[in-house]
Structure 1
Amino acid sequence: MGSTATTPARPGFGLAAASALVVGSVIGTGVFALPSALAAYGPISLVAFVLVTVGAIALALTFRSLNARLPGSGGPYVYARDAFGEFAGFLNAWSYWITAWAGNAAIVVAWVGYVEVFWNTGHHRAWSVVIALAGLWLPAFVNLAGLRSIAAFQVVTTILKFVPLLLVSVIGLFAMSRANFGAFNASGGSGWSAISSAGAIALFSYLGIETASVAAGRVRKPERNVGRATVLGTLACAVVYLVGTLAVFGTVPHTELLGSTAPFTDSADAIFGGSWAGRTVGVAAVVSGFGALVGWTLIVAEMPRAAARDGVFPAVFLRESGTGVPAFGIVSSTVLASLLTVVSYTSFDQVFTTVVLLSVLTSVIPYLFSAAAQVYWLATEAQLRHPLHLARDLTVGLLALVFSFWALQGSGEKAVYYGVFGLLLGVPVYVWHKARKGEYGEVSPTVISQGATR
């Protein structure tokens, strides 16, 4: 690992690459595995998907406004710190960091399901773990190779996965059978409870809409390109998600979908007949997941690096490789994602759903603080804004805030337990870091030392 010295300017991402980073990070393997996770709730989960899409677009518009105010790497961490102080910024950076590496664990679990269309078709758990670890560490090596390779890789993998996914989704609309959908609400509970629970799972598929703002320091003309990339990327993903999930529900019988590890492969086989179509989609899913892991492995290190630059995270997160990428953040986060993956495969029956809900909960906290920061700034600057513009922006900000609370309550007791526990683990880290630096809030070190000698 290299030093923490300032690195020379690099070309960075343009609008196309920044949009590809958003789409590549959002459309990972989530969309490819999500229909099976949502099948437990039935077609009512499509209602949840629509509501989540509206909330995701509100968040994308909120991030666009926030980045225009505070351009630069860090995203939700920077917004919370500027609006509510350093400790709020730390909690957001810590929570988002957990989201990123826990999300990588969820992505790689779904990715393994499609790799096993070609190899380890018997789903032997030991080999599944080996495949998953390879899926985590190969993207880490791609990132350590440098930013230029990441930008090119994101554009290529986004095209390779987006086109066949959209093609299968659209053609699938004409091959649907009403009998495949099953009961509208298959959960056995109330309709609103099913929508809330399905919505929390569906939100995972939109994690990453903020990636352009997190890596804004690496985007050319961030004041223009970050906002555009965020909104364009989110809208593109929304179209594919809604059409694709509907097509899978309508082409794969509900009972088969419940146990499927590769639902889009099953859908393609049902649409076109024969295994060639499913294998083609399987290749797209493998490429998609790998591209998402490459993007998220970069993002997972950007948030703690931005916080470390402000002295909120340990300075070790500033260490870079010779190619100028945050090497310590990449390696340490990949180690944590690997540990979570191994634990998930050995301890949880519903591996994908469990890890998804954990990463959703820890991601919603930064989303909530970001929306709250937007509402706070709009309220404090109300007299400086045109009434119509204020009403528009405030409506979007409040919608994003309400959406974040809704996603929190839908995450489930287990996710809340593990998520809050992981979040609060950051408190002693913050205390240790501040004490090590000799910073004691508003009370000076001199006063503290005098009190200790009495």
Structure 2
Amino acid sequence: MTELRRQLGVSDAVTIGLGSMIGAGIFAALAPAAGAAGSGLLVGLAVAAVVAYCNATSSARLAARYPASGGTYVYGRERLGEFWGYLAGWSFVVGKTASCAAMALTVGAYVWPSHAHAVAVAAVVALTAVNYGGIQKSAWLTRAIVAVVLAVLAAVVVTAFASDHAAVGRLSLGSDVTPFGVLQAAGLLFFAFAGYARIATLGEEVRDPARTIPRAVPIALGITLVVYALVAAATLGILGPQQLAQATAPLSEVARAAGAPWLEPVVRIGAACAALGSLLALILGVSRTTFAMARDRYLPPALSAVHPRFGVPHRAEVTIGVIVAVVAAVADVRSAIGFSSFGVLLYYAIANASAWTLTRAENRPPRVIPAVGLAGCLLLACTLPWTSVASGAAVIAVGAAVYVFTRRT
């Protein structure tokens, strides 16, 4: 058995998308982004949102036409050729494996900071077991996590805006703003937006994908944009760009600076839940892309097996879970964000290039959308910290070499 069951409706798909985006990214990415953009943080958020919208639109149109597991791996292969599909899949698996480790370590940092790596490994094992039990169980757990995280973020925003310590002047642009800094911040913030791909990646498990996916993607992205804008504005209004850039737990510091110490433990719980939600959805997405690549024999074919009872790619899920657990045992959270952003931006660049080739009969988006998305992805990837660019490019080059070697063999 190598086909998955179609079990997800619109609300399930939106929930999984929200669980991927409204996750630990908003708790972790604000500080490094503020360090890059300074008082231009909200401008960087807007740039990231524009690129995310273009990517989401291109991905939704492609997913409706190719409702199979693998996302851009499938689209690139069908529209641009085998190599580009493979490169998209490689970029996604490698980049999102780093994201999984970052999310797991965020759980550890908030739950038990002195034993963050051990907690991270335990979280990976537990969520891999949940995914093994079936996609519906994952959707139910994600819905509960999203509800908790939205409640916590709402409490932070309301507390910040109602505080006497909030200053509107901190939201204005200062002399510290540079175009390069804004673009680098947008690239880092893109780490927190990229979860809408999970809806497309799970295309083979969605009911009526031609209708469900194009509806679910913009709904999930729109809700996320509103939430992120409110949280970023509240955080800047309380801390200011300099203090935010130095914060290790920005939303916890917002609660403390706003004179609401009772909110700090609530924020810690919310951050842990957010990271768990992101990790759950990330493992889902990476395992499905691995499953699709294995089914096409770009990865070991044994990984394409589907569990006869639960209807999930169980070998791919267990393999990804083991790899993520090992990485989480030794990795660093902040270094994983830039590396992940590089791989995911390349992934979406291929998605936009694929969408450009759609015809009107294939319900292509307006040409300006994939054009802006492609240019934006490449530009943001190049403006990331040089260590992220260098390591990301090296890993992508290794993937290309593996493809050439396997094809010749």
TM over 0.5: yes
Match of 2:391 in 1: 418
Equivalent of residue 88 in structure 1, options 84, 87, 91: 84
1:137 and 2:125 matched = yes
Match of 2:143 in 1: 155
Q: What displacement does 1:334 show?
A: 2.6
Note closer, same or farther for the CA distance 1:136–1:196 as it changes in structure 2 (3 Å cut): same
Match of 1:216 in 2: 203
Cα distance in structure 2, aligned partners of 1:113 and 1:183: 32
Cα distance in structure 1, aligned partners of 2:142 and 2:89: 24
Amino acid at match of 1:216: G
Match of 2:249 in 1: 262
Note closer, same or farther for the CA distance 1:49–1:338 as it changes in structure 2 (3 Å cut): same
1:177 and 2:158 matched = no
Cα distance in structure 2, aligned partners of 1:303 and 1:311: 12
Match of 1:31 in 2: 26
The answer as to whether partners of 1:45 and 1:194 remain within 8 angstroms in 2 is no
Match of 1:293 in 2: 279
The answer as to whether partners of 1:170 and 1:243 remain within 8 angstroms in 2 is no
Cα distance in structure 1, aligned partners of 2:199 and 2:172: 39
Cα distance in structure 2, aligned partners of 1:49 and 1:253: 16
Q: What displacement does 1:6 show?
A: 4.1
Match of 2:227 in 1: 240
1:373 and 2:360 matched = no
Amino acid at match of 2:83: F
Match of 2:294 in 1: 308
Q: What displacement does 1:372 show?
A: 0.8
Cα distance in structure 2, aligned partners of 1:417 and 1:329: 28
Cα distance in structure 2, aligned partners of 1:286 and 1:243: 20
The answer as to whether partners of 2:200 and 2:213 remain within 8 angstroms in 1 is yes
Matches within 5 A, 1:33-432: 33-41=28-36, 42-115=38-111, 119-120=112-113, 124=114, 127-175=115-163, 177-178=166-167, 181=170, 184=173, 191-252=178-239, 256-274=243-261, 276-321=262-307, 322-344=309-331, 351-378=332-359, 393-431=366-404
The answer as to whether partners of 1:77 and 1:90 remain within 8 angstroms in 2 is yes
Cα distance in structure 2, aligned partners of 1:331 and 1:301: 8
Match of 1:440 in 2: none
The answer as to whether partners of 1:357 and 1:415 remain within 8 angstroms in 2 is yes
Q: Secondary structure at the match of 2:337?
A: helix
Cα distance in structure 1, aligned partners of 2:383 and 2:242: 24
Cα distance in structure 2, aligned partners of 1:142 and 1:397: 36
Amino acid at match of 2:146: T
Amino acid at match of 1:165: L
**For residues 311-340 of structure 1, what are the alpha-carbon distances to aligned partners after superposition, in whole Å with 9 as ceiling and x for unaligned?**
333212213445232222222223332333
Note closer, same or farther for the CA distance 1:167–1:430 as it changes in structure 2 (3 Å cut): same
Q: Secondary structure at the match of 1:200?
A: helix
The answer as to whether partners of 1:101 and 1:334 remain within 8 angstroms in 2 is no
The answer as to whether partners of 2:42 and 2:233 remain within 8 angstroms in 1 is yes
Cα distance in structure 1, aligned partners of 2:180 and 2:54: 23
The answer as to whether partners of 1:180 and 1:253 remain within 8 angstroms in 2 is no
Q: What displacement does 1:172 show?
A: 2.1
Match of 1:442 in 2: none
Q: What displacement does 1:31 show?
A: 0.3
Q: Pick which of 89-98 and 32-41 moved more.
A: 32-41
Amino acid at match of 1:151: A
Q: Secondary structure at the match of 2:297?
A: coil
**If each structure's helix is expressed as a fraction of its own residues, which one has the higher value?**
2
Cα distance in structure 2, aligned partners of 1:39 and 1:100: 23
Q: Pick which of 332-341 and 88-97 moved more.
A: 332-341
Cα distance in structure 2, aligned partners of 1:196 and 1:253: 19
Cα distance in structure 1, aligned partners of 2:282 and 2:380: 21
Q: Secondary structure at the match of 1:172?
A: helix
**For residues 337-380 of structure 1, what are the alpha-carbon distances to aligned partners after superposition, in whole Å with 9 as ceiling and x for unaligned?**
23333343xxxxxx3332101001111111001101111224xx
The answer as to whether partners of 1:371 and 1:400 remain within 8 angstroms in 2 is yes
Note closer, same or farther for the CA distance 1:91–1:11 as it changes in structure 2 (3 Å cut): closer
Q: Pick which of 99-108 and 213-222 moved more.
A: 99-108
The answer as to whether partners of 1:114 and 1:261 remain within 8 angstroms in 2 is no
Cα distance in structure 1, aligned partners of 2:306 and 2:159: 46
Q: Pick which of 202-211 and 325-334 moved more.
A: 325-334
Cα distance in structure 1, aligned partners of 2:248 and 2:104: 13
- The RMSD of aligned alpha carbons is 2.5
Amino acid at match of 2:370: G
Amino acid at match of 1:47: V
Amino acid at match of 1:287: C
5+ residue gaps, structure 1, are 345-350, 437-454
The answer as to whether partners of 1:173 and 1:246 remain within 8 angstroms in 2 is no
Cα distance in structure 1, aligned partners of 2:143 and 2:27: 19
Cα distance in structure 1, aligned partners of 2:341 and 2:241: 25
